[in-house]
Structure 1
Amino acid sequence: MSLLRVRNLSKKFGAFTALDGVNLEVNSGEIFGFIGPNGAGKSTTIRVLLGVLRATSGEARLFGKDAWHDAVEIHKRLAYVPGDVNLWPNLTGGEVIDLFIKLRGGCSSSKREELIQKFDLDPTKKCRTYSKGNRQKVALIAAFSSDSDLYILDEPTSGLDPLMENVFQDCVMEVKKHGKSVLLSSHILSEVERLCDKVGIIRQGKIIESGTLQEMRHLTRTHVKVETKQAVPSIDRLNGIYELEANGAALSFQIDTEEMDHVIRHLSQFGIVKLECSPPTLEDIFIRHYEATGGGYRS
């Protein structure tokens, strides 16, 4: 069942087109990774979904309701964490967490306390004394304390150390286990690869690729290292071989997935001693897409 559906979404600021026909869909119990460099349109899309910006054209619906006209009803069922959290400076972290929890209808105190401990936050300190990472913790604790159906997370681990990133990832998997959905915008490609069921890549306001990682991996190449008993002649003449490096009977190259069976059968004639195949990572897919479409990756 689709909880979030975006169709042909466009947003213009004067003559500048920030979003150009964006299509997205997040189903129940699904984690959707939304990736692209700064200025690609991720945060603008999220602001439209939150009802902060009104789309120029197209449709954005959450829980079957219109993102702009039904924003108040929609917010009762979602939790949002931005990448740069601003808090009331004279309130303590605990008071801010309690305020957000009350706005969403409350939660069990044990869940709140458990998350405060997991994220190693001192809730008695005033927010003005918090570092960026601690401000993120406050927002994350408040979000994951709520029993929301959809979590919209825009660069949520910005400022967190690696240990806290692991805690965050555990929290995301926990809400998924309970059938909740997550839209995760992130620059940390390894994080997206570990957590997400589907990924959408956005460039200059357009979705240039979307699907499961398995579906997208056919678009890039597998890295192969192989050692054979005999030297393999003229392997560079085979289809689908790229970036070949040869050192006697040891070969290193990239290969199109659809040519894998043919190439391995050819190599086996020369007595394979050692074989390593590394599937393409999300970063490989991301960078190859940007190179192919003339975009540059900026972190």
Structure 2
Amino acid sequence: MDQKVKVSVCVVTYNQERYIKKCIESILSQEGNFELEVIVSDDGSKDGTRKLLDSFRDNKNLKLHFQENNLGPYNNFLFVHEQAKGDLICHCDGDDFWYPGKLEAQVSYMQNNPDCNVSWTRVDVEFSGGVSLPDRITQGIVNQKFYRGDVLQLISIGMNSTKMYRARAIDDTELPVVDYYSNVELLGDGYASFASEERLALYRAGVGISSSNSESKMILLKTMGHFLSKYPKYRPRVNAALILMLMVELKNRNWLCVKNIIKIIRFDVSIFKAPYYLFSNINTVKSLRLPRG
């Protein structure tokens, strides 16, 4: 690496005393030719999370924020990322953690690939009961470049707790800034990719602090409706994603979600192109699913 870059790592946590110590230790122990700042926002935890975070106060790379009033997961996410001053910005949920070499691999990759605006790493997935399995990411996925149209269709590619992105402003929105929204907007004219074929983090399934499944689906649908209007040239890709969601919800007999998906789909000329994208990317969609614990 030619020059030292500043890396900001943003951590959100709420009532995660079982996990937060290992999370912070795994980040602070990362080594490489970069300047590190770690920003943690505790969203008013009621357990021992704050006490554990206080034990790290003497670390000069760590900046702690304790919210007196609970912001909620989306606003806490926005808050902590607004504090970041780095050239490259990362996210990690307080229940996940990183393996040695994670940051070094991503910094090196993004310095050597200036058109890459978002990168992830592969993960191990830990389920309740302590069962841990490798993700299902194939070599073909690792080597793939994902552009805006790809992300609009695939929705979720890499784990948010492994994401690194280049600092840049995105348009203000009244929508909650979830992974999907930020990934689409942060890409710009560049691409997203996996920085390494190694698994460099552990993701704990079913432990996080996100909102309920039904609320998350509604936010996702509103965001997709927003992008259908904002990026008309990508309507076939978004419609392809909506059709796949519709098929799943029909199978699950989730009639309320089916009704809402039908409201969002654009029944214009783009609907005729959607099946092409749906079936040409079906193997990629399968590879991006979590393993079954």
TM (norm. structure 1) is: 0.25
Which structure has the highest helix share of the two? Answer: 2
**The structure with more radius of gyration:** 1
Which structure has the highest strand share of the two? Answer: 1
TM (norm. structure 2) is: 0.25
